[in-house]
Amino acid sequence: MRPGSIRKFDIFYLTAIVVTVISMLMNWDSQLRAAAAQLAQDGLQDYASVSLAVGYAITLGVSLLLWALVSRARMGWARWAILLLLLYQGLAIPYLVATGMGTISFTQLISVLLKAVALFFAFRADARAWFAEKPR
């Protein structure tokens, strides 16, 4: 039986993924323009929508894979991978905004906060004990 902390991890992490999808949909046009502008330097602006869609798919795929490794496969190391990605994302936001290389939306900030709360639950004592047990 999964402990309460892992069930809460599921709720917050999966909610963060839903918020991320909403953010992606809400920001599609602005992200598409930014991608086209960057790809235009190499004459590849026609591939902006494909590259953006592939990037979004990879982001969602990795997020869901890491969730499954933590919540279903009981692999504690995946918590650390999520933490590293979250730290990278949190540290990259100010840089991307300051250099004009990216945009940040309120929904993206909510997603980062939800992932942080999810990780809090993934590192609680009952979750650590659950990861230490051998799966049946």
* Structure token digits, residue 75: 């692999």
Q: What angle do CA 100, 104, 108 make, to 5 degrees?
A: 155
Contact 126, 3 (CB under 8 A): yes
Number of structural domains in the chain: 1
pLDDT tens for the chain, 136 residues long, are: 899 999 999 999 999 999 999 988 888 888 888 888 888 888 888 888 899 899 999 999 999 999 999 999 999 999 999 999 999 988 887 776 776 655 667 888 899 999 999 999 999 999 999 999 877 6
* Residues contacting residue 43 through CB under 8 Å, at least 6 positions apart: none
* Structure token digits, residue 43: 């004459």
* Residues contacting residue 1 through CB under 8 Å, at least 6 positions apart: none
* Structure token digits, residue 90: 């949190």
Other C-beta atoms closer than 10 Å to the C-beta of 132 total 9
Range of the domain at 11: 4-132
